[in-house]
Chain A
Amino acid sequence: MSFVFYILAALTIAGGLAAMLLKNTVHCALALTVAFAGLALLFLNLDAQFAGFAQILVYIGAVAILVVFAILLTKGSETPKDGVFSRSWLAGLAIAAAVFAVLSWAVLQSTRVLPHETAVPEVTVREIGVALVGRYVLPLEIVAVLLTAALIGAVIVAMHEKVGHEKEEFQ
C-alpha cells in the first residue's frame, strides 16, 4: 500500500461524500467532478492508462457538464426550504451502512485468497485497439448501437412537444 494510494483514496472518498452531503446542488456537481478525477487517478495508479484517460474524457468532460446543464435547466441550484434529504433518510442510511458492512466483511475475510500479482502489466493502447476490433468487435458494435439509440432517445424524451399546440394556435 503506497502513500499515493492513500492520498488518492482520501480525495475520491471526500469528493463522493461532499457530492452527497452538500446542500447546494451546483457544489454537489463540482464535488462529483473531484470524485471522478480521483477515480481517474486511481485508474492511472493501477497502470490502466487507457481506462484512466477514458474516465477523464467521458466523466469529467461529458457527464459532469451534462449534470451541470441539467441542474441549471431545472433550477435545481435553489436549496429547498424543507431540507435536502428525503423523509425516509434514516432507512436509506441504514441500508447503505449494512451494504458497506457486508462488502467490507467479505473483502477482509478473503484477503488471503485474493490474487496478488506484482508484475506490472505491459499493455499498450495499440493492443487495446487490436483487441477492440478483433476479439471484442461484437460488443463494440452493440455499444455503438446502444449509444446512438440512447442519444436519440434522450433528445426525443427531452424535446418540447409543441407541434399540436402550434396547430391549435393557428386555427
Chain B
Amino acid sequence: MTPLAGYLLVAALLFSIGLAGALTRRNAILVLIGIELMLNAANLNLIAFWRYGPHPEALTGMMFAIFSIAVAAAEAAVGLGLVIQIHRHAKTTDLDQMNRMKG
C-alpha cells in the first residue's frame, strides 16, 4: 500500500465517523462537530494529493486546503450562532424534539 492510499483511507474513515455522528447524535452541537470532522477529512485528502501529486510546487492543493479551513471556520461560527438562537427559542438542542418549523 502506498503512503497516499494510507492517508486516503484514514480520511475516508474520519469522514465516515463524522457522517455517522452527524446522522445519529441528538444534540445539534454534536451534529456540527460531525460536519467539522467531515470537512477536516476532506482537507486531509487535499493535502495528501498535494504532497504526492506530480506538481507540488504549483501549490494548488495547499491553497484549496487553506481556503477550505477559512470557509469551515465561517461555517462553524454561523452554525453555533444558530444553535444558540434555537436553544433560546425552543429551550432545547435536541434535534428529535425540533420537528416543526413554525415558531
Interface size on A, residues (CB 8 A): 83
Q: Identify A28's interface contact among B17, B19, B33, B77, CB under 8 A.
A: B33
Give the residues in chain B near A16, CB-CB below 8 Å. Answer: 14, 17-18, 37
How big is the B interface, by class? 35 or more
Inter-chain contact total with CB atoms closer than 8 Å? 248
* A contacts with B: majority SS: helix
Chain B residues packing against A (C-beta within 8 Å): 1-10, 12-27, 29-30, 32-34, 36-37, 40, 43-44, 47-54, 56-57, 59, 62-63, 65-67, 69-78, 80-85, 87-88, 93-96
Chain A residues packing against B (C-beta within 8 Å): 1-2, 5, 9, 12-13, 16-17, 19-20, 25, 28-29, 32, 35-36, 39, 42-43, 46-48, 50-51, 54-55, 58-59, 62-63, 66-67, 69-71, 73-76, 80, 83-89, 91-93, 95-97, 99-100, 103-104, 107-108, 111, 114-117, 121, 123, 127-128, 131-132, 136, 139, 143, 146-147, 150-151, 153-155, 157-158, 160
